[in-house]
Structure 1
Amino acid sequence: MKFVIAVFSPGHAPSSRRALLFAQAALAGGHEIVRLFFYQDGVHSASANVVTPQDENDVPAHWREFVTAHQLDAVVCIAAALRRGVLNDEEANRYQRPAANLPVPWELSGLGQLHEAAQSADRLVCFGGD
């Protein structure tokens, strides 16, 4: 089965961890992840500036490791990211901000990427949000 996973909540929220566990289980079960799409507060999971307290699970770091290890297509919604100060080098330069905080493996793109992926997948599974 082909999945698109959309994450709407930040890395410290339980639903982000559940999304990660679901993604890990999907791959372990032989399924395919067409795309991971981080939207709304979910874009914070991609920020290099998130600092998780030592006594908590660093879900954003686990997301980064998971995406890198499996070479997944991980898209961060550009509109949601800009609104929340999550910028790659190009956007930091464009808006004359002092630093970028969106490292590899994340890619900024539009909401159309979620729609496109949903068209090619069997299931769109969403985590978090209101």
Structure 2
Amino acid sequence: MSLNYVLVVSEPAYGTQLARTAYQFACAAIAKGHSVSKVFFYQDGVLNGAATTVPANDEFDLVNAWQTLANEHQVQLETCVAAALRRGIVSEQEAMQHGLSQANLADGYQQAGLGALAEALLTADRVLQF
């Protein structure tokens, strides 16, 4: 039986292992025939969507890995807009709305409110938080 997962990631791309563990879970679930419809980045997890993240050459590029996963498997990547703005992660739309000169939300990520997460929770078979 194939399950539809929604993941909630509350930890940054670097500094803890949980965001990478979420990524590894998503890859494993998809490899087993399940789907991951959405990854919702919340609290410090929104830092996974920063276009300005540049890991060292010998480190795993988690932001790029999420982007690749999303492109290859139609996974929605959403950052909580309120948490993102508080941490300086800004989409083009938010930059224009707030009169900022630039945006830094990585390609493939969208900003959304908690309502989008609540809606996803209603359609998911399983929800995991990392």
Q: What range is the shorter-chain TM-score in?
A: over 0.9
User: Does structure 2 conserve the Cα–Cα contact (< 8 Å) formed by 1:88 and 1:108?
Assistant: yes
Tell whether 2:48 aligns with 1:45: yes
How far 1:71 sits from its partner (Å)? 2.0
One-letter amino acid matched to 2:89: V
Moved >2 Å (runs of 4+): none
Q: Which residue of 1 aligns with 2:129?
A: 126
Question: SS where residue 5 of structure 1 aligns?
Answer: strand
Question: SS where residue 18 of structure 1 aligns?
Answer: helix
Tell whether 2:38 aligns with 1:62: no
Q: How many residues align?
A: 127
Question: SS where residue 80 of structure 1 aligns?
Answer: helix
Aligned-residue CA RMSD in angstroms?
1.1
User: Does structure 2 conserve the Cα–Cα contact (< 8 Å) formed by 1:46 and 1:64?
Assistant: no
Using the size of structure 1 for normalisation, the TM-score is 0.92
Q: 2:10 aligns with which of 1, 8, 13?
A: 8
User: Does structure 1 conserve the Cα–Cα contact (< 8 Å) formed by 2:4 and 2:37?
Assistant: yes
Deviates more, 1:55-64 or 1:23-32: 55-64
**Equivalent-residue separation in structure 2 for 1:92 and 1:115 (angstroms):** 25
The sequence identity of aligned pairs, in percent, is 39
Q: Which runs of 5 or more residues in structure 2 are unaligned?
A: none
How far 1:92 sits from its partner (Å)? 0.7
Q: What are the superposed Cα offsets for residues 73-127 of structure 1, whole Å, 9 maximum, x if unpaired?
A: 1111100111111111111111111210113311111011111111111111000
**Equivalent-residue separation in structure 2 for 1:39 and 1:118 (angstroms):** 14
Question: SS where residue 106 of structure 2 aligns?
Answer: coil
Using the size of structure 2 for normalisation, the TM-score is 0.92
